[in-house]
Amino acid sequence: MAGPVDEFELIARHFDWPARHSEVSVAVGDDAALLDPKPGTRLAVSTDMLIAGRHFPLNSAPEAIAHRALAVNLSDLAAMGATPLGFTLSLGLPQTQADWLTRFAAQLRTGAERWGCDLIGGDTVGSPVLTISVTVIGSLPTGKALTRGGGKPGDRLAVTGSIGDAALGLVLALGEESPPALSPSAAAFLRERLDYPEPRVSTGRALLTHASAALDCSDGLLQDIGHLLAASDLAAEIDIDALPVSPAAAEWLESRPADWIRLVTGGDDYELIVALPPGVEIDPAWGVTVIGRLIDGPVGEIREAQGRALPERRGYTHFPSTSADKGDNANG
């Protein structure tokens, strides 16, 4: 696509995939998509916009951009305990090479198939800066959802996966400060965690009947715990020593022990933060680690179990510019 893009040709070539869910009656091609939710279904809807140079580096691989655009949205669905159903994609495209769009679309389709989320529509427009807006729709049993506000005093606070890898990967990606000496595999792992965040879709779905509250960790662990606390009207105690740290991040911390602060404020983890009531037995398949508990106290306060001072600034902006850049919020 060296020349101008014909939108109809573009869609036919790159985005005309068959829908897999029987709920999708009309996907791409009419004025709107048509969804027929199964009886007893409620829908979860979330949206995120990604801007080149703000939410991913300008030189990111098209595969990484496509993966991220879908993954960060699916992470929001996972945090509600919802099962992905479909998504719309709006693309603001500068003049692009055909190769870029081919690679972007192929990776998007890979993600859509892997996570069972049908492309149900979109829009393609010209833009001076590459801009991607995805809206995802997931399904839940009527009356069920993992909101942020259901936590109770005594609930354990747990997280999926490992925390802080993406924050360290970002230091490597930006190249603005010298990182510690790392094994090549550790460095590659941290970059991978930044570029290919893994939405915890199946864990979110499994936790729907067990957790009392949940959200996804995208703005920094402490900041996001704060959101759960604000919605649940509680405080929390967390134990930094209990934090799940990947071998690669552990290698980093050996040289730079003070960087644990990066891990809990850095963001971009796309892990789940969940509250688990006392009676709930943790299934190893969930891949969660308990890092603390919810307590009565000043709403939003987070204490460290060993008395360590937690940083005032609980979250980071991903890419340097104004603070408006990191608004995964209204929902997100």
Among 97, 99, 113, 123, indicate the residue that binds a second copy (CB under 8 A).
Answer: 123
Q: Is 248 in the site for a second copy (CB under 8 A)?
A: no
CB nearer to a second copy: give 165 or 216: 216
Q: Tokens for 245, please give them.
A: 């740290």
- Determine which helix (DSSP H) or strand (DSSP E) holds 21, and give its type and residue range: none
Which of 150, 161, 156 is CA-nearest to residue 81? 150
Q: How far apart are CA 77 and CA 80, in angstroms?
A: 5
Q: Is 273 in the site for a second copy (CB under 8 A)?
A: no
Residues 157-196 that bind a second copy (CB under 8 A): none
Q: Is 65 in the site for a second copy (CB under 8 A)?
A: no
Least separation, in Å, of the C-beta of 26 and a second copy?
Answer: 7
Judged by DSSP in three states, 245 sits in coil
> For the chain, what's the residue count?
332
Q: Is 247 in the site for a second copy (CB under 8 A)?
A: no
Among 111, 138, 151, 161, indicate the residue that binds a second copy (CB under 8 A).
Answer: 138
CB nearer to a second copy: give 37 or 247: 37
Q: Is 18 in the site for a second copy (CB under 8 A)?
A: no
CB nearer to a second copy: give 150 or 153: 150
Q: Is 271 in the site for a second copy (CB under 8 A)?
A: no
Decide if 179 contacts 172 (C-beta within 8 A). Answer: yes
- Determine which helix (DSSP H) or strand (DSSP E) holds 158, and give its type and residue range: strand 156-160
Among 28, 157, 186, 229, indicate the residue that binds a second copy (CB under 8 A).
Answer: 28
Would you list the DSSP string of 168-236?
HHHHHHH-SSPPPP--HHHHHHHHHHHHS----HHHHHHHTTT-SEEEEE-S-HHHHHHHHHHHHT-EE
Binding-site size for a second copy (CB under 8 A) equals 85
Least separation, in Å, of the C-beta of 180 and a second copy?
Answer: 31
Q: How far apart are CA 206 and CA 282, in angstroms?
A: 11
Q: Is 255 in the site for a second copy (CB under 8 A)?
A: no
Least separation, in Å, of the C-beta of 229 and a second copy?
Answer: 14
Q: Could you identify the residue written with the tokens 């740290």?
A: 245
Least separation, in Å, of the C-beta of 252 and a second copy?
Answer: 29
Among 61, 231, 290, 295, indicate the residue that binds a second copy (CB under 8 A).
Answer: 231
CB nearer to a second copy: give 259 or 328: 328
CB nearer to a second copy: give 138 or 248: 138
Decide if 314 contacts 190 (C-beta within 8 A). Answer: no
Q: Is 290 in the site for a second copy (CB under 8 A)?
A: no
Least separation, in Å, of the C-beta of 115 and a second copy?
Answer: 15
Compute the half-sphere exposure of residue 115: CA atoms within 13 Å on the CB side of its CA.
34
Q: Is 250 in the site for a second copy (CB under 8 A)?
A: no
Q: Tokens for 217, please give them.
A: 């960790």
Which of 233, 232, 250 is CA-nearest to residue 241? 250
Residues 90-119 that bind a second copy (CB under 8 A): 90-93, 95
Give the number of other Cβ atoms within 10 Å of residue 157's Cβ. 26
Least separation, in Å, of the C-beta of 328 and a second copy?
Answer: 6
Q: Is 130 in the site for a second copy (CB under 8 A)?
A: no
Dihedral sign for Cα atoms in the order 72, 78, 80, 83: positive
